[in-house]
């Protein structure tokens, strides 16, 4: 994850791609990761399907349900990743709801993630208050526990969350769930600036990033972008190449 | 957690009885509780090493005090006379300085004291060192005393110590005459006092962070944390606000029609030949079930928070109807999420909600039942959190919901307790209530939790049988997990995917259980059993024909288990069933399932 710091210092923007593990069958995960790596993304978040994904919108929920129908589990995803022999050159993250982790065993989760080459984990329903449930175990394995901040996070909370932030900060751009949107609200820019000013680690904007116009609007206020629903949808519709311009729009070196 | 000191001990048996106390006090000043240094030294041998041993003195010299500290040995000293600051400062162990507080001005002395701790007491009568008279705790209001150095004494006893702690949040409470009978220490009272402090403090700690044992918490996306925290603060405020409570009870009586009778079920009692059976008649509430108790409380709270939009989930439709009703009453915008399956099962309630002006959103995802309706309601709340209150219908969800819903439903148990004492002069031997998420049960049980002789039985839905995969018996078959914002017990597979629950009763068709129930099950205070669809239907028939009360399918689970329970009880015993709702909403199911009934 040091690379993310270096990228920030170089002034270039990060592009983090989210994919739902096992959407279309677990066999597709490898080719999707390879494809995205080849397309120049900075890191990949691998989503674990869950029966009750309350932080996700319809696109990712539907992808999760498709994956569940294929019998995809946290364990199978980690096993699959362990079997990979191709060169993984970018950080891989696991995004999962808390319950599958608890059922798997938190300590075991951390050590298996480590074996599978996972650099960081994101658990959207594990707020800052309860992170002690997981962090001691991920710390032990050198895996970062990524924190989320949102437009509704109060300043006091924001300071607390940022003071313990590691890896990068996932800044949620909308008051809502994941999913593509047409508009970005104006106060998002101010929020991103505030978070970035205080954050000791890079700040990436996520939830609702699907267009180059979103990227243009926030480019100067964040260190990177997380794109989920748009990629999940594109993979599902077999038109992933249409995402490449968005990746390029983010990662291209801009003269300031 | 507030510490507890038992003071004025003279006998070995009482020192042993105070084993769980944080401090023991020996009185060296003239008093009927006076001990010599030799006696204290002997008694101190029976005190656990980590318990403070405090010597109580009145105007003793530094030499006397130091002698006692060295010989007993004492870990703290408590001064009740007019000791000068030089003496207080010269004592090498922590010092407690005691003050008699008659009026507000007296509290100034507390702030001036250079002692490590200040002890407040009512004015003494015959000798110094505390009188046992009740200290007026409200004198401390606004006195700006640091609670971490405050010790409260004066007329404390097991019955009032909880109130004293709540009002003054002291470092320690100190009791002497409050644990005596006829001027002598009483083992049972000592233990009860300690239990009240320790157990109550534990409860306060739990409520503070929103955990019941390991269950509960606030496992929600960051977007909701602000709303959840705001709700927590707002609820803490109204909980203690007499105006709010007055308004809430006003609507309960004038709109819902409370209080509801505790009906003696004479024919059912005769038919079963066991205990006297009483029915708590939540079925008589406006809208037909207990759900309205909570809907009113939360709607009033939402308005206080300036929110005029309400989102709710519903399973059977009873909570949806109650919410839609209250939103009509208070002119609030109302959106109800309901699973597609439940909409089919409960068409009458869907129409009622629409008639009342609510928007009913059909949820087609997942199993299209209550669990999925909660998911959608949570998502809606995430997206509309600034102006919308999520009016959750059961004792579920992130803190403070489980506590708040319990409190709003506790009117059931509070009334029952008062009524049974009026009718029978004693508490019942057993109380039964059905459990889905668990709101009517926790409301009924909570006021009886500390009455250890009252057996509490929660009844889950066994559906087609707990050994099939079609049931909703979460506590019988579930395992720990996090769903809908709380750690609880869940029906889930090996990969942590939440499974669908099954019950003929839409209101019990939920794969989780409120966190407080999970905790009460773990500590064994409440026993959870299960009843199948068929047994519940049989109970519908028997209750209808014996008592002329057609119960809701949910309530029928409690009734069916009560019929079994009654067979193990005797005629001099009393059993109470919570009839959480009436059967009108289930008439289509009854007509279908009981076709050919003669």
DSSP string, B87-115: HHHH-SS-EEEEEE-SSGGGHHHHHH--S
- For residues A26 and B403, what is the distance between their CA atoms, to the nearest angstrom? 42
Across the interface, whether the CB atoms of A153 and B226 are under 8 A apart is answered yes
Is A56 annotated in the active site? yes
In this predicted model, which residue has the larger pLDDT, B364 or A176?
B364
Quote the pLDDT of residue A93. 98
Residue with tokens 């609880």: B488
A187-222 per-position pLDDT tens digit: 888 999 999 999 999 999 998 888 888 888 889 999
- Interface membership of B377 toward A (CB under 8 Å): no
- Specify the pLDDT at position A179: 67
ipTM of the complex: 0.94
Task: Categorise residue B331: left if φ over 0, alpha if ψ from -120 to 50, beta otherwise.
Answer: left
> Which residues from A are below 8 Å from B217, CB to CB?
129-130
pLDDT at residue B207 greater than cutoff 80: no
Identify the closest residue of chain A to B383 by CA–CA distance.
A176
Between residues A62 and B166, which one has the greater pLDDT? A62
B221 touches A125 (CB < 8 A): yes
CA distance B59 to A230: 80
* Structure-token pair, residue B143: 């006195």
Question: By percentage, how much of chain B surpasses pLDDT 90?
Answer: 70
Closest Cα in chain B, distance from residue A254 (Å): 32
Q: Is residue B553 within 8 Å of B436, Cβ to Cβ?
A: no
Q: Residue B166: its pLDDT value, please? A: 78
Rounded-to-integer distance, Cα B336 and Cα B358, Å: 7
* pLDDT tens figures, B257-300: 999 999 999 999 999 999 999 999 999 999 999 999 999 999 99
CB contact set of A3 (below 8 Å; sequence gap of 6+): A42, A90, A91
The answer to whether residue B313 is catalytic is yes
CA gap B431, B580 in Å, rounded: 13
pLDDT tens, position by position, B27-83:
999 988 999 999 999 998 888 777 899 999 999 999 999 999 999 999 999 999 999
What is the bridge-based pairing of β-strands B485-490 and B215-219?
Answer: antiparallel
Residue B383 reports pLDDT greater than 50? yes
Non-local CB neighbours of B223 within 8 Å, separated by 6+ positions? A55, A150, A151, A152, A172, A175, A176, B382, B385
Given this model, what pLDDT does residue B595 score? 85
Render pLDDT for B388-447 as a digit per residue (tens, 0 to 9). Answer: 999 999 999 999 999 999 999 999 999 999 999 999 999 999 999 999 999 999 999 999
Q: Which residue of B has its CA nearest to A72?
A: B495
Note whether B223 contacts A103, CB cutoff 8 Å: no
| pTM confidence score | 0.77
CA distance A166 to B564: 57
Angle between the B347-355 and B318-330 helix axes, to the nearest 10 degrees? Answer: 10
What are the tokens at B189? 């009272």
Taking the C-alpha atoms of residue B394 and residue B319, their distance in angstroms, rounded to an integer, is: 9
CA distance B347 to B352: 9
Concerning whether B239 is annotated as a catalytic residue, the answer is: no
Catalytic residue, candidates B83, B180, B232, B313: B313
pLDDT per residue as tens digits for the range A88-144: 999 999 999 999 999 999 999 999 999 999 999 999 999 998 998 999 999 999 999
Q: Tell whether B375 is within 8 A of chain A (Cβ).
A: yes
- Tell me what the pLDDT averaged over chain A comes to: 92
Compute the radius of gyration of chain B from its Cα atoms: 28
Average pLDDT over residues B491-508: 92
Is residue B164 a contact partner of residue B150, using CB atoms and an 8 Å limit? Answer: no
Q: What is the pLDDT of residues B87-144, one digit of tens each?
A: 999 998 999 999 888 787 888 888 889 999 999 887 654 444 455 566 677 777 777 7
How many Å lie between the alpha carbon of A108 and the closest alpha carbon of chain B?
13
Minimum distance, in Å, between the CA of residue A51 and any CA atom of chain B? 5
Of B211, B158, B197, nearest to B2 by C-alpha is B197
The pLDDT value recorded for residue B417 is: 96
The pLDDT of residue B1: 76
Supply the mean pLDDT for chain B.
91
Provide the pLDDT for residue B205: 43
Judged by CB atoms within 8 Å, which residues 198-227 of B form the interface with A? 217-227
Cα dihedral value B120, B121, B126, B128, nearest 10: -20
Given the DSSP bridges, would you call strands B117-121 and B95-100 parallel, antiparallel or unpaired?
parallel
């Amino acid at each position: 994850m040091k690379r993310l710091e270096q990228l920030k210092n170089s002034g270039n923007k990060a592009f983090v791609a989210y994919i739902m593990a096992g959407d279309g069958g677990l066999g597709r995960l490898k080719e999707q990761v390879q494809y995205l790596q080849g397309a120049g993304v900075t890191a990949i978040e691998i989503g674990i399907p869950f029966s009750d994904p309350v932080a996700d919108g319809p696109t990712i929920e539907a992808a999760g349900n498709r994956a569940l129908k294929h019998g995809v589990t946290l364990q199978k995803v980690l096993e699959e990743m362990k079997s990979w022999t191709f060169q993984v050159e970018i950080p891989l993250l696991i995004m999962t709801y808390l319950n599958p982790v608890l059922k798997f065993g938190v300590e075991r989760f951390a050590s298996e993630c480590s074996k599978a080459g996972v650099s960081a984990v994101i658990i959207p329903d594990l707020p800052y208050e309860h992170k002690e449930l997981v962090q001691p175990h991920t710390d032990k394995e050198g895996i970062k526990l990524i924190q989320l901040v949102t437009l509704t996070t109060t300043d006091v909370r924001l300071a607390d969350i940022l003071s313990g932030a590691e890896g990068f900060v996932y800044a949620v751009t909308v008051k809502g769930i994941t999913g593509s949107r047409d508009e970005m609200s104006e106060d998002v820019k101010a929020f991103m600036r505030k978070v970035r000013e205080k954050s000791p680690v890079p700040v990436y904007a996520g939830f609702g990033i699907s267009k180059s116009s979103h990227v243009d609007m926030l480019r100067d206020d964040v260190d990177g972008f997380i794109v989920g629903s748009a990629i999940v949808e594109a993979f599902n519709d077999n038109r992933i190449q249409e995402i490449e311009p968005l990746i390029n729009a983010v990662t291209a070196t801009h003269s300031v | 957690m507030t510490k507890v000191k038992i003071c004025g001990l003279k006998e070995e048996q009482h020192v042993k009885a105070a084993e769980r106390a944080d401090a023991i006090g020996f009185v060296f000043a003239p008093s009927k509780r006076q001990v010599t240094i030799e006696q204290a030294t002997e008694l101190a041998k029976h005190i656990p090493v980590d318990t403070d041993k405090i010597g109580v003195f009145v105007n003793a010299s530094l030499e006397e005090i130091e002698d006692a500290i060295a010989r007993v040995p004492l870990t703290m000293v408590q001064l009740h006379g007019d000791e000068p600051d030089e003496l207080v400062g010269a004592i090498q162990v922590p010092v407690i300085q005691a003050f008699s507080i008659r009026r507000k001005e007296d509290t100034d002395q507390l702030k001036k004291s250079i002692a490590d701790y200040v002890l407040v007491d009512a004015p003494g009568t015959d000798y110094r060192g505390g009188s046992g008279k009740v200290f007026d705790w409200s004198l401390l209001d606004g006195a700006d005393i640091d609670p971490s150095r405050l010790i409260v004494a004066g007329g404390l006893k097991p019955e009032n110590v909880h109130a004293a702690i709540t009002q003054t949040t002291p470092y320690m409470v100190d009791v002497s005459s409050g644990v005596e009978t006829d001027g002598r220490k009483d083992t049972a009272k000592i233990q009860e006092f300690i239990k009240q402090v320790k157990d109550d403090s534990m409860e306060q700690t739990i409520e503070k962070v929103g955990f019941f044992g390991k269950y509960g918490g606030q496992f929600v996306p960051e977007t909701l944390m602000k709303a959840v925290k705001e709700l927590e603060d707002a609820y803490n405020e109204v909980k203690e606000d007499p105006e709010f409570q007055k308004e809430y009870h006003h609507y309960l009586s004038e709109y819902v029609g409370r209080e509801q009778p505790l009906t003696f079920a004479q024919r059912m009692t005769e038919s079963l030949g066991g205990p006297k059976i009483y029915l708590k008649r939540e079925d008589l509430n406006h809208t037909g079930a207990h759900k309205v108790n909570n809907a009113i409380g939360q709607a009033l709270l939402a308005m206080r928070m300036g929110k005029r939009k309400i989102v709710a989930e519903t399973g059977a439709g009873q909570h949806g109807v109650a919410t839609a009703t209250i939103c009509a009453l208070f002119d609030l915008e109302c959106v109800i999420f309901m699973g597609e399956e439940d909409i089919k099962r409960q068409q009458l309630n869907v129409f009622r909600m629409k008639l009342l002006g609510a928007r009913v959103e059909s949820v087609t995802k997942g199993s299209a039942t209550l669990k999925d309706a909660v998911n959608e309601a949570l998502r809606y709340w995430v997206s509309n959190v600034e102006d919308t209150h999520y009016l959750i219908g059961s004792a579920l969800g992130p803190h403070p919901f489980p506590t708040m819903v319990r409190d709003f439903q506790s009117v059931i148990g509070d009334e029952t307790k008062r009524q049974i004492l009026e009718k029978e002069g004693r508490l019942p031997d057993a109380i039964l209530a059905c459990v889905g998420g668990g709101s009517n049960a926790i409301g009924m049980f909570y006021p009886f939790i500390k009455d250890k002789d009252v057996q509490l039985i929660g009844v889950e839905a066994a559906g087609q049988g707990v050994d099939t995969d079609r049931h909703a018996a979460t506590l019988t078959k579930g395992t720990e997990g996090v769903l809908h914002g709380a750690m609880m017990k869940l029906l889930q597979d090996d990969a942590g995917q939440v499974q669908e629950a099954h019950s003929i009763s839409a209101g019990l068709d939920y794969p989780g259980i409120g966190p407080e129930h999970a905790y009460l099950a773990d500590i064994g205070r409440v026993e959870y059993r299960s009843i199948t669809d068929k047994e519940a239907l049989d109970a519908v028939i028997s209750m209808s024909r014996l008592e002329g009360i057609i119960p809701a399918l949910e309530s029928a689970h409690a009734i069916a288990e009560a019929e079994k329970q009654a067979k193990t009880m005797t005629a001099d015993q009393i059993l109470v069933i919570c009839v959480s709702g009436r059967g009108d909403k289930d008439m289509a199911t009854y007509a279908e399932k009981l076709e050919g009934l003669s």
